[in-house]
Amino acid sequence: MRIMINIILGSMIIGYFIGCINLSYIISRLKGFDIRHVGSGNAGASNLVIVIGKKIGLFVAVLDVMKAFMAFRMAQFIFPDAYAGMISYAGVIAGVGAVIGHVFPFYMGFKGGKGLACYGGTVLAIDYRLFVVLFILALLIAIVTDYICFAPITMSFIVPISVGVVYNTWIPSAIIAVASAVLLYKHRENLYRIRAGEELRFHFLWRRKDESERFGIVDDGKEIFNRKV
């Protein structure tokens, strides 16, 4: 029992503190503003795309994916015998910890990002093939619905089920479901904005000017500092 507690706490601590490294927030502070006060108000890569631009936003998104991936691998290395079937549940716990750390970083008053990239990083660490398939599916969902938020909401249900079915073990799925609950909680506000007609469309990525004009945002083509959207 003590060994199990050590694995759970150790893996969660590893994941949480790695997840707390919020690059979107750090970059915004270096540029003289708080990303939580502009754009969507989210301290994550998606809002960095809105506020500063696609290149830096996508770069940070990749690094956010790698945060959870690295946390998973680190816990897997430290606790090599903690396996459920073919999956390191110590790694999965660390991945979930990274999601929680990204969403609730202690030094930001527990107001961070929404955790999608870290969620994806956990899946990547489990199986890159599963990651590719689910990434393509999530992208198709975002394109068809024209709202990014429907991708993480859908994946919150699909990922735990997919892991359980593919690997025929439900312990990792149950752990991942904790991160799914966090994602659903954080994306509820997006659903409210969709209902109110205040959510940015996915096509903002390639038709930035149209969405900026729709919301009356000052957009110089590089950065947006007018108001929340």
pLDDT for 227: 45
Q: Let me know the angle formed at the C-alpha of 102 by 219 and 45, rounded to the nearest 5 degrees.
A: 25
pLDDT for 10: 97
pLDDT for 180: 98
More confident position, 76 or 47? 76
Neighbours of 161 (CB within 10 A): 14
pLDDT for 216: 52
Distance (Å, rounded) from C-alpha 35 to C-alpha 40? 9
Distance (Å, rounded) from C-alpha 35 to C-alpha 27? 9
Average pLDDT over residues 48-62: 90
Which of the four pLDDT bands, split at 50, 70 and 90, describes residue 219? Answer: low
Position 221 pLDDT exceeds 50: no
Q: φ, ψ for residue 228 (rounded to 5)?
A: -70, 150
Q: Which residue, 52, 105, 227, is CA-closest to 60?
A: 52
Position 76 pLDDT exceeds 70: yes
More confident position, 177 or 82? 177
0.85 exceeded by the pTM? yes
Position 181 pLDDT exceeds 80: yes
Give the Å distances, CA to CA, from 68 to 14, 45, 133.
10, 15, 18
Which of the four pLDDT bands, split at 50, 70 and 90, describes residue 49? Answer: confident
Position 2 pLDDT exceeds 70: yes
Contact 113, 24 (CB under 8 A): yes
pLDDT per position as a tens digit, 98-141? 999 999 999 999 999 999 999 999 999 999 999 999 999 999 99
Tokens of 65: 């994916």
pLDDT for 229: 42
Q: What are the residue ranges spanned by the domains of the chain?
A: 2-214
